[in-house]
Structure 1
């Protein structure tokens, strides 16, 4: 894979907030030229989100908009819409995440743009998709977690439903937007034509329920909250060690004997009924009680070391700060840095894709609002400096 596999690909990005901007950031850091179209004056609303940096920029915006070119364009103005059509005629990909029908009403829908650019890969990302009774319904990450059953299955058995610790609906949907773009480009390479792809955040969340749905389809059991315990495997759970710290163990049949040996549980090791997972699931309460008591006699880190030495899958439950400080994280260069024109040097989590044996993609720089307007409109739309000045004076850009 080339370090810049998408070099030469132009993406016109009308998306805002998190899911689709994550996708276009991935495309940018894989070499695509991503032109982020923002509202004059305010831009993407996440430019105002917390946490804010010393010179006013948003670290939230920084997390999902690296490596892009920012232009400001009022697409409610006929002149702005005309410019958008001219830009789309030169683009390979267009990504938008407005409510269904919005781009069509503005004369920027796929059917119109494909007339002048039949190779355009057009991706519409929305909460509930381009069809169905909920197509006009707005959606948010935690609402999708609730509606899809993800929230109902998250939390302790005797506690209330809880959201995931990261915005899983937004993040997973962003990855599917990126998949949509790449599949559209692959299809165009094969047959020469673009396509209109529909990514529904609700559909994506339901797709994450594959294992739960398999249990529902097979056993007619709706998934329930089990905390960190796996509903179909024992042991697979977080345990508290004697020093108060937590670790997670997730073992299969081949790990059962070594686990019992490390924890000095000969009675469990000798029990023929516990040699297979089905038997341990059937005696879950007994097994978990014994494991908790044995683990409570250890400090966490020495126990993790012993379990790893015995090839038992186990790991400390760490904070983000601890995870980023890990030597393996450092060796993989997961955290990079970029130099911003107003905020200076700033850390960033790199796009996690690289050629084997090669360096990871360098983090791009998040753009200042409208910083690339004149350059993009000159290069891609063919406007003169005088025309750009007139549009700026009129508030169109």
Structure 2
């Protein structure tokens, strides 16, 4: 048994945010049925990079442990099939532009009339209301508009995007939060709901601390590279040989850090004992730390700092962390058995629940792999009816 066993999710979303959310829910036990276009499917099936054999690694990262049914929503019969499946679902996730699902006869109003317990999540770029609601957008557009790109990079350099699809990933987490919150609310009220979740809203909500500085001080937060606006030291420092080490020290760590680095004069300076004073003398403190750290081997220094109780972490590359012994011991890198290419590496969903079976980690579905079974077992269609749908290209 898994935490979400028995929960049915119908997934009309594509590419990243929605599929990421429904993958999380699927691996915790929900039965996720992905609605895809015949012949094409989710467009991320064609996204690079590709595994040997032609399967998209991008698609595989966000669509594990689901079922796929290929249905042509441009046809009346296809729309009816999708409607009938949604009428049985606990949660629906979609990322069409506002009004897109309504054009297919799949609006919240239509579906909730026959399934009043449905949690219907509309994940759009700018929401169902507001002057930008009909705009299209991608991850980096939301990063730019929200101020995230303006905050990212070094002070003397241009703005930079986050190294991950930050807007998509954080929105995916919020879709999952919304689904689970809706289900908990339904348990008490007996009623479903419509969730208007805008990726732009998610990005603005992520501004937390920069916004707090603006509210408190009236300032426009600036790019600070790896440094922290409110703490010194908290930054990446270059060690001997060019490798980087991130050190983040509070007041209790300051004398310990100075001791490891042999900076006895800084340790004796009582005017640097408190973070606020070190922030005011940021340039002086940073210069002294940088000079001392540049003389030290990263491995040796990192071990010495951790032994002294000072928080420190190597700035790893992606291959570094994927091979890290702790990550290996935690089982974060695992493999699923793809029916065509065999064992295929992927990253596990991180939460671990005691008292339940381990979460699922199954291959992403081939396009339309479950169409026949779903039509037969869940919609109760006869073989003749199913054959006719295939022959007309309504399903695949």
2:26 and 2:360 in contact (8 A); partners too: no
1:350 and 1:360 in contact (8 A); partners too: no
CA distance in 2, matches of 1:86, 1:358: 31
CA distance in 2, matches of 1:379, 1:114: 23
Deviations along 1:16-51, one digit per CA (max 9) or x if unpaired, are: 000010000001000000000000011000000001
Distance change >3 Å, CA 187–CA 357, structure 1 → 2? closer
2:29 and 2:359 in contact (8 A); partners too: no
Describe the SS at the equivalent of 2:327.
Answer: helix
Give 1:361 shift: 2.4
Distance change >3 Å, CA 298–CA 359, structure 1 → 2? farther
Deviations along 1:319-355, one digit per CA (max 9) or x if unpaired, are: 1111111111111111111111112110110001112
Q: Normalising to structure 1: TM-score of the pair?
A: 0.98
Q: How does 1:1-397 map to 2 (within 5 A)?
A: 4-356=2-354, 361-397=359-395
CA distance in 2, matches of 1:33, 1:360: 15
2:122 and 2:196 in contact (8 A); partners too: yes
Distance change >3 Å, CA 222–CA 367, structure 1 → 2? same
CA distance in 1, matches of 2:25, 2:209: 30
CA distance in 1, matches of 2:360, 2:10: 22
2:2 and 2:357 in contact (8 A); partners too: no
Distance change >3 Å, CA 103–CA 155, structure 1 → 2? same
2:3 and 2:356 in contact (8 A); partners too: no
Distance change >3 Å, CA 360–CA 261, structure 1 → 2? farther
CA distance in 1, matches of 2:66, 2:225: 40
CA distance in 2, matches of 1:46, 1:139: 16
1:12 and 1:94 in contact (8 A); partners too: yes
Give 1:204 shift: 0.4
CA distance in 2, matches of 1:273, 1:358: 53
Give 1:356 shift: 4.7
CA distance in 2, matches of 1:314, 1:83: 55
Question: Over aligned residue pairs, what C-alpha RMSD do you find?
Answer: 1.1
Deviations along 1:236-277, one digit per CA (max 9) or x if unpaired, are: 000000121100001111110100000011111111110000
CA distance in 1, matches of 2:356, 2:231: 37
Give 1:54 shift: 2.1
CA distance in 2, matches of 1:313, 1:356: 29
Give 1:357 shift: 8.9
Give 1:358 shift: 7.8
Deviations along 1:356-387, one digit per CA (max 9) or x if unpaired, are: 59885241210000000011111221111111
Q: Normalising to structure 2: TM-score of the pair?
A: 0.98
CA distance in 1, matches of 2:355, 2:239: 38
Distance change >3 Å, CA 358–CA 321, structure 1 → 2? farther
Distance change >3 Å, CA 336–CA 286, structure 1 → 2? same
Describe the SS at the equivalent of 1:95.
Answer: strand
Give 1:91 shift: 0.8
CA distance in 1, matches of 2:319, 2:103: 46
Structure 1 window deviating more from structure 2 (49-58 vs 161-170): it is 49-58
1:351 and 1:360 in contact (8 A); partners too: no
CA distance in 1, matches of 2:355, 2:221: 41
The number of equivalent residue pairs is 395
